[in-house]
Amino acid sequence: MKGIFSIFRKDDRAFTGLESAIVLTAFVVVAAVFSYVVLGAGFTTSDTAKKTIDEGVKQTTSSIELAGDVIAIGGTAVSTTIITDGDPETEGDQAVTAMKSPVDKIIITLQLTAGQSPVDIGRAGNGDGSEILVVSYADSSLYEDSAAWSKEFVGENDGDDILEQHEKVKLTVTVPDNSLLANSATAPNSEFRLEIKPKVGAIVPVTRVIPTQIDPVMVLK
């Protein structure tokens, strides 16, 4: 019996060079596929990380900035009343009284920061939060998350609603009702804050103080 089963004993003499080449090729193919998968995953991860970083930089970098002074529009209102003092010489005459009027508008001028992409300003802000560029207003008595504003490009521009390099846009922000600035008694020396919020890029804060004397045009500090 031993002689019969001895023909099944292990023998490496049949392991030829061709079989060795096949095994080696299989190892090389498997290694190549594995390397391709690893490198592909690495490139995908790197590309995703780059996009995330780029988007983060866009959201945290100011795309617009102030260009020039912040102007407040106020002034003196004229009130006319009819005199009824019983004096025949003055009865029915008109008496003109000048009084301080509250701050009505805030004007700011914007431009792109160096190296930034164009920013869509939109047509105008109605104060309903649907505008592309949102301007919020705050003082010690009121916060308005979306104030009404209008725009006008200053100087050379191509006539669209996009703020591009070397262009400037003037925003005229309407002071909200019930704010300190809208009341002639509380407007002087009041501090307020505007936040310009573009669709892409960091918020641009503007904090100023109304002077003691309310004039028709005031450069704010």
Residue 164 lies in a domain: yes
Residue numbers of the domain that contains 155: 64-75+103-220
Q: Are the CB atoms for 107 and 170 separated by under 8 Å?
A: yes
Residue 113 lies in a domain: yes
Residue 193 lies in a domain: yes
- Assess whether 23 and 70 both reside in one domain: no
Residue 172 lies in a domain: yes
pLDDT in tens, the chain (221 residues): 555 555 555 555 555 666 677 777 877 788 878 777 777 776 666 666 555 555 555 444 558 899 999 999 986 555 555 555 555 555 555 555 555 568 999 999 999 988 778 888 988 888 777 888 999 999 999 999 999 999 999 988 888 888 998 899 999 999 998 999 998 889 999 999 999 998 878 889 999 999 998 889 999 98
- Assess whether 176 and 209 both reside in one domain: yes
68: left (phi over 0), alpha (psi -120 to 50) or beta: left
Q: Are the CB atoms for 181 and 191 separated by under 8 Å?
A: no
- Assess whether 69 and 38 both reside in one domain: no
Spatial separation of the C-alpha atoms in residues 125 and 129, rounded to whole Å: 8
